[in-house]
Structure 1
């Protein structure tokens, strides 16, 4: 669990790094790791090889000095030992041998110094005595700041006594050579790292450039620009992804064109439906006015004539019938006006709403406040005016029939490119679950919603039992150019 959590935290940090940084980090890490590994291995191997070579040289020098010292001492020329070791030290310390002799001396079996080249460290006198069958004894010693390989060899003289030759070779030149090679390797590693970084930058540019193009194109598509196309760089996975992206944007563009065409057809259909409905309403209104009203008027005139010529009882019945006909005629005129008020076509929405509100005030004894902002003196499209008028008409009818309200507020307001219709009452309200039922009392609300949705609008209802009802209808009604200009002020009803 802890490992999983640690990995998730690591991946949350590492995964947030850009692809370019990841590639650069991986390449640079591999180059540095390989450089460190090669440097350490070469340094170690070179040190071992040079140490073995130093040991071989030290053994060779020791054998040479031991043979020469044995010949001198057997010939009675022990005084020449100092010359021998001085010459040997000088010979093997020059640049040709690439060695540095730290000390060279010969001691007797009892530790007596027989010959030396320069000073001899006191702790080395009597060291490395001949032991067992070992002919050469080598050991690393620290003399001051120097690291010295001490090799000793004993030899037997003609009189049976023994002596020992000590040679100390410093590894200073060896370490200098190793350090020089190490520095060269480090410089090479730096150069290789820079080359690796340059290669990684070029590689990441090749890899991430098409990805960046895809990201930019995707963001443009998210903003609604479906004309974006990305040129494939290569026929690899990213290239195939680019081809798929272009195919996707092409399909989306085609789908958008089809959707726009369907939306245009829908708008034309809505316009024609509304126009057909209003035309039919107008035809019925004209029929009621021209035919039915005239027939009722003629009947009313005939009844009046009968009333004047008949007896008392006949006049009474005629008077009753004439009153009925007058009521029917008034209702026919009211029905014709509700079907299609001529003022909506002649003077526009504001005048039609004022007349409708006045009619509802008189007919239903309601206190109705009408407030119009931003559209007074301005004509909208026929379908928008008709829809807004029918919404207000249907809302007032619902209030009059079902709300048991005393006060109603109607407000028409412009909001940028949209028109807002708000109708509020102080009636009995309704519960949210009743608003979702298609009961006869709420068919008017569904009619309002359908009318708003036909024009791309929305309906929002806020109501609680005993606290009245508020209707909010929002309809696209203005073009952007219209929405930025100011027309009209508040017009109280």
Structure 2
């Protein structure tokens, strides 16, 4: 029995939801065919065999349509469909090949093509055709017409072929979807590598280069001026600590974004971590209906992190409000507003002397084609607003 089930099991290339939809449509068509058959028998006596066949076909169809458990059983156990083929042959044998109820057997041929691989579906439909022809041959009342001899068997074969074509098209669609997902993963990985290289070059690389130059000069200072050498050694230690801090910050930023999660969730988590580490209340409001490409997400999170770091270091705020909104074909807005001491921004938006946070935010915004506006005044808090235009095809599917 297990060997038979293995041979008849629907292929893994067809999604269960798709199979359920096709089977449901086929059963609805069967119920419609039964109604047409009953209309065709108006004026005739409703005999017990006819009533039994109508009830058997209708009950089995309604049971699958109305019960999800029954439908799942049919989809997962192909022998149920083979049993349905036998029921169809029994209906044809009891009522004859010229009965209008033969119409209700056609959807089964379509289901065979959709559920099973080509070899199995062909074998099963050949059994259906052979059984039908055997009944037609043994039926003394059957007329030797084209429909009885060739038309109905040909329809069985054609419907199975149509089902196989639907199955194959669905398999190709799923394969294309998997390939597209793989291409996206490769693109995301390449983007991550490029972003990591840029980050290391812009921050960590420069710091390490400075440490290397200082280390090369240190032996000369030791020989010429030991006191100055000590100062340079302290400078190298400070540079090494800075490199360590930059590497740690880089890893934190790289891990902050998780492209498989909605950006709004990542935003909430990032602000929650900042609130926990600083003790400053941080309220997040998201009204965006799109997600963003990985590169844009990363830079926005980096700008958010820089803005929150500025609040922690300089604002003396008691509350921060982060808002994120956007729509396809419009703009994405990210706002970070605090109620801290504020300051007088420079006209060009650059950072005050000795600070580089605002400059870094502007540089990151330019990388993704966004704009940054800083609104602040002494005693009135600060608002950092990032505006990024987004096209219809710029968002990642959810």
Normalised to the residue count of structure 2, the TM-score between the two structures is: 0.36
Normalised to the residue count of structure 1, the TM-score between the two structures is: 0.30
Kindly name which structure, 1 or 2, has the bigger radius of gyration based on alpha carbons.
1
Query: Higher helix share goes to which structure?
Result: 2
